Structure 1
Amino acid sequence: MVRKGPKHELPHLAPPRRRKRRSPTGVLASLRSSFFTGAMVLVPIGVTFWLIWWLTGWIDGWVMPFIPLRWRPDNWLGVNPRGLGVVIIVTFTMLIGWLARGYIGRAMIRNAEAIVDRMPIVRSIYGGLKQISETILTPGDEKFERACLVEYPRRGAYRIGLVSGPARAELTDIDGIDDRILSVFLPNTPNATTGFLIYVAERELIFLDMSVEDAAKLVISAGLVYPTSSEKSDDRS
């Protein structure tokens, strides 16, 4: 008689796990997200380098024809180095500025301006351009004082403005307005260098804590780029 031993049961084996397959839609969404992330990194860098490359080429094309052929570097280098025109125009501008700061240079400028003042049309163009260039190119603090909101073009609608300073001369005496009058530049989107000037009573303006630069970025980006909270706190402090 054969004695049967105790019955041993096999341990329970769990079924192998199956890896979840990504759906094609999920893969495409991930690839699309990676593409747009890379584009956000590369586009500003590429556009910046392209603008620099184009600007240097434009300046070279404008400056190099004034250099005699025998003195051009492509005759003895075999290639025309890009950016040489920028170096020449910067050096020439610095030289003119150095001469204009001296006694002889100031005397020459006064004599030239005296001649221009006798020309009816030319003096108006020259005077306007001179005032604009002195305002923009004079080193110092930012030209606009503060950023503000102006209720424009109707009640309940607001537009970002840049306060350029108080009104002067006869613009300070406007009938019916006792408050101080400020000149405000209203920039356009996306080209903030264009816009128009309005004169508004100070009490009608809503002044902002953001800097003038942040306000310009906000206008250029059509409301997509806002100053961060850290930038706001820095401005307030």
Structure 2
Amino acid sequence: MTFLKRYLIAGLLVWLPLGVTIAVIKFLVDLFDQSLLLIPLAYRPETLLGVDIPGIGVVLSFLLILLTGFVVANFLGSKLVAIWESFLSRIPLVRSIYNAVKQIAEAVFGSGDQMFEKAYLIEYPRKGLWTLAFQTGTHQGEAQQKTEMGDTVNLFVPTTPNPTSGFFIMASRHEIIELEMSVDDALKMVISGGVVVPGIKNGKSKSKAEDSTVGSEPNLE
């Protein structure tokens, strides 16, 4: 029965990641295909061509996002966005959801002071236990001045496996440890719950999960 277990696990290691990848891609394609609903029925690809082509919505969504970015990047577009956000801020439930999602998106995709700049280790939830946190800023405000912490760092501590939730803390710089790993590697570690652990090789961060697949076979016993 040992060899059956070995072959079964070897097969799962091939088909399980492939199956999940295909399922996720299919979900995203189906989601983006919903953008075709913006086009009148008479002008949709399945009407004009007589056949449904999966993935057309991906192209349309890409163009729509690109056009939106082009519009809002100029002065007039930014004013329109400001008016729209001012309107949403007057709706209690919508305001909370919209602002939270926007701040997270700015932290992940933004630049400068709005993005996760560095990864740190902090002692939490008690001394001797460590977790990952991301720097979101170093600006000194009223809170830092009143606590007299000196040089502080604003940190976001994400939860696993959903890094979009978490909590914000202000920590003294001498009480935290700056990591050399990139923000992307740190996020992979958080999302995987520690399964993907970046290591140091030749001065560069490398995932141990990736390193273990090079030149050796997984231990299936």
CA gap of 1:214–1:127, structure 2 versus 1, over 3 A, is closer
Q: Distance in 2 between matches of 1:225 and 1:128?
A: 27
Cα displacement (A) at 1:50: 1.2
Partner of 1:113: 82
Q: Helix, strand or coil: the match of 1:217? A: helix
Q: Distance in 2 between matches of 1:161 and 1:135?
A: 13
Q: Helix, strand or coil: the match of 1:190? A: coil
Which of 110, 114, 121 in structure 2 is aligned with 1:138? 110
Greater relative contact order (Cα < 8 A, sep 6+): 2
- In the TM superposition, what are the counterparts of 1:12-161 in structure 2 within 5 Å? 28-60=1-33, 62-101=34-73, 106-107=75-76, 109-110=78-79, 113-114=82-83, 117=86, 121=90, 125=95, 133-138=105-110, 143-161=115-133
Question: Unaligned regions of 5+ residues in structure 1, if any?
Answer: 1-27
CA gap of 1:31–1:136, structure 2 versus 1, over 3 A, is same
Question: Unaligned regions of 5+ residues in structure 2, if any?
Answer: 206-221
> Residue 167 of structure 1 contacts residue 199 of structure 1 at CA under 8 Å; is this kept in 2?
no
Matched to 1:227, the amino acid is: P
TM-score using structure 1 length:
0.70
1:164 aligns with 2:136: yes
1:212 aligns with 2:183: yes
CA gap of 1:94–1:37, structure 2 versus 1, over 3 A, is same
Number of equivalent positions = 202
CA gap of 1:111–1:217, structure 2 versus 1, over 3 A, is closer
Q: Distance in 2 between matches of 1:223 and 1:133?
A: 23
TM-score using structure 2 length:
0.75
Using the aligned pairs only, state the percent identity.
33
CA gap of 1:90–1:176, structure 2 versus 1, over 3 A, is closer
Q: Helix, strand or coil: the match of 1:121? A: coil
1:25-49 CA-to-partner distances (Å, cap 9, x unmatched) read xxx2222222212322332222122
Q: CA RMSD in A?
A: 3.1
1:46-82 CA-to-partner distances (Å, cap 9, x unmatched) read 212211111111222x322222121122224332111
